[in-house]
Structure 1
Amino acid sequence: MVKKLLVDVDCGVDDAQAIMMALAVPDVEILGVTCVHGNTCVENVCKNVLRVLKVCGRLEIPVYKGVSKPLLGFVLDAGHFHGEDGLGNAPDPDAPGLDLVQKEGAVSAIIRIINENPGEVSLVATAPLTNLAMAVKLDPTIPQKLKGLYIMGGNVDSRGNTTICGEFNFAADPEAAYIVLNEYLCPTYIASWEFTCHSKLPWEFCDDWLAQDTDKARFMKKIFKHSMDSCYSERIEKELVAGQGFISCDSYAMAAAIDDAFILESDYKAVTVELTGTYSRGMMIVDHLEILNKTHKACIMRKVDLEKFKKLLTNSLK
């Protein structure tokens, strides 16, 4: 069975890792990559996706430009970690041009692709959820036609990485995250920020992973250097949990979409997003007491098969 994926990204380094992971799996078909604001501006996101597809020899996969700013509020970016261009400030003079981006917009493409493949598409969202929120408002029927929705974002212990209580993807567009968690009533899987921190890999694995003698590994080593230097610096200066190992945040959601058996332990809870708190705007709310009276429960990842994860990552650079 071929697994059909639609991928929505704000292509920073970990989005690139997730895309390359999926492209290396023989029975996975990426129907399209939709781009949105986030780690960098949406124009850079489009350029970055094309660079990733080029190094993988897969430029035939359509790329769609999406929304450039959140539904409300200010634009955030993660240039301090991913580099101002999103890929480690490692420019490529031979990068594909934006003329390869499809004329159709990302929101329209999401609606069309899901409607053309009812019950067959898994949507992997590793970015602020603006494109998805816009899509469901234009066509409220698309969630029931999805096979599954895999999200990297949100948090379960109120530990933020962008605001006091907010993870980046949700904090970058809280209203969009709220809409998606409340209106996509399809099987939903969430790789939260704290979960990824608890599922880190040794830096020694990362060193070996990048040492593979391939063009893909050399590309990854070049774009990842800026983020790795940031992690090492944070580990030395602040001893942050994220600095104590290799975390490819977006790849956890992608690995789950590739193979559900990757998830070993999970909680099924109703979730929503706080929109008005002084310190907690953008925080994901997990309804442990079932006060929300929601019938739709998300699968919140707790433990995954890290050996399988290592193999997927290793194969992505072969």
Structure 2
Amino acid sequence: MSEKLLLIDTDCGIDDAQAIMMALAVPRVKVLGITCCFGNASVEDVCQNVLRVLSVCEKTQIPVFRGAAGPLVGTPDLPISHFGTDGLGDVFEDRDSERWKTPIQTEHAVNSMIRLVSENTGQVSVVALGPLTNLALAVRLDPSFPQKLKNLFIMGGNMEGKGNRTVCGEFNFVMDPESAYIVLEEFLCPTYIASWEFTCRHKLSWDYFDEWINQDTAAARFMKKITSKCWAYSRDTVTSKDVVFGPGFVSYDSYAMAAAIDISVVTGSMECAVRVELQGAVCRGMMALDLCDKLKKQHHVFVMKECDIGKFSQLLMGALRQPCKA
């Protein structure tokens, strides 16, 4: 099977870390670089979080780039407490250490995206795990950027108007609605979206989670540590996910990553036009599905609906069986 080239754009919180580890654990996947964006934490913390993950998995040769510190419009809505103020559960004492600052590349994330994709035209899959600001900036700097991609996988948005950040909006899109709008209007490459509702409907059991983090590996011990004080990983805490979809463990960003690694993980999807709502007190940032072709858009995306949970759980379990020697 041929090597898959991935470029990961992330606002690295705990679920992003899980998704990144999934990619690092698959031998036939080559991660060209990881670009960072504000979201679960400040972009500075996000860069440090990515470097921690790469260090644990012994993949520090992968370059990390600092990107957007805020949305296209307005100021970033930070700090976010979902995964702790640093995005990784507030369990590390060496936050802001030079150890985690010096390895960050000097090239801006958006410039690196354009360069890496141009060097590998038609071969790179971008996996977007956070607000889409870096991608929106990339198409503004290079309008031909999307057509150079092999495809785009997004964790974000919603398909039924159910929200987690707002009443109708999913976190990644609500954090920068204008960027989400631009990407879904102007990226005409094959695009696959793992919405919030899709991920929640394919949750795993808390027994699986316990087995997962108790593997005898460095990556599993790292994951056990960063989830240990995080209320989002406490089965006793009732979240919006639990209210709407019932209790269980959801590794949100990992669903988009699994699809990028092996598209057969997605066993059902809707092909349709979508648009991100930019107006309204309740619906700003919501992704609307045009199932009746009222928008008359030529470009359609694939909105994931069904998942092979067996394949997905195997990929996720393998994510913590690291470091893997080449």
What band does the TM-score fall into relative to the shorter chain?
Answer: over 0.9
Distance 1:267-1:90 versus aligned 2 partners, 3 A rule: same
Instruction: Report the count of equivalent residues.
Output: 318
Amino acid at match of 2:107: E
The aligned counterpart of 1:180 is 183
In 1, Cα distance between equivalents of 2:183 and 2:230 = 29
Q: CA deviation at 1:80?
A: 2.0
Q: Is 2:275 aligned against 1:281?
A: no
- From 247, 250, 270, the counterpart of 2:273: 270
User: Which stretches in structure 1 are left out of the alignment for 5+ residues?
Assistant: none
In 1, Cα distance between equivalents of 2:116 and 2:39 = 23
Q: CA deviation at 1:81?
A: 1.5
The aligned counterpart of 1:10 is 11
Amino acid at match of 1:226: K
Q: Is 2:253 aligned against 1:246?
A: no
Where does structure 1 differ by over 4 angstroms across 4 or more consecutive aligned residues? 228-231, 236-239
The aligned counterpart of 2:324 is none
Q: For the Cα contact (< 8 Å) 1:81–1:226, is it kept in 2? A: no
Q: For the Cα contact (< 8 Å) 1:36–1:67, is it kept in 2? A: yes
Q: For the Cα contact (< 8 Å) 1:82–1:226, is it kept in 2? A: no
TM-score of the superposed pair, with normalisation by structure 2: 0.94
Q: CA deviation at 1:228?
A: 5.0
Q: For the Cα contact (< 8 Å) 2:231–2:237, is it kept in 1? A: no
In 2, Cα distance between equivalents of 1:229 and 1:108 = 34
Q: CA deviation at 1:11?
A: 0.3
In 1, Cα distance between equivalents of 2:239 and 2:276 = 33
Amino acid at match of 1:305: D
Distance 1:77-1:262 versus aligned 2 partners, 3 A rule: farther
Q: Deviations over 1:186-221 (max 9, x none)?
A: 000000001111010011000000110111100001
Q: For the Cα contact (< 8 Å) 1:231–1:243, is it kept in 2? A: no
In 1, Cα distance between equivalents of 2:240 and 2:316 = 28
The aligned counterpart of 2:208 is 205
In 2, Cα distance between equivalents of 1:142 and 1:236 = 38
Q: CA deviation at 1:53?
A: 0.1
The aligned counterpart of 1:64 is 65
Q: Deviations over 1:216-247 (max 9, x none)?
A: 10000111223355542433999524660010
Q: CA deviation at 1:274?
A: 0.4
The aligned counterpart of 2:135 is 132
Q: Is 2:113 aligned against 1:104?
A: no
Q: For the Cα contact (< 8 Å) 1:81–1:230, is it kept in 2? A: no
- From 279, 292, 295, the counterpart of 2:295: 292
User: Which stretches in structure 2 are left out of the alignment for 5+ residues?
Assistant: 322-326
Q: CA deviation at 1:78?
A: 6.5
Q: For the Cα contact (< 8 Å) 2:204–2:250, is it kept in 1? A: yes
In 2, Cα distance between equivalents of 1:249 and 1:259 = 16
In 1, Cα distance between equivalents of 2:28 and 2:233 = 35
Distance 1:236-1:302 versus aligned 2 partners, 3 A rule: closer
Identity level (%) = 53
| Alignment of structure 1 residues 24-173 onto 2, 5 Å | 24-77=25-78, 79-91=80-92, 93=94, 96-173=99-176
SS at match of 1:90: coil
In 2, Cα distance between equivalents of 1:192 and 1:160 = 10
Q: For the Cα contact (< 8 Å) 1:234–1:240, is it kept in 2? A: no
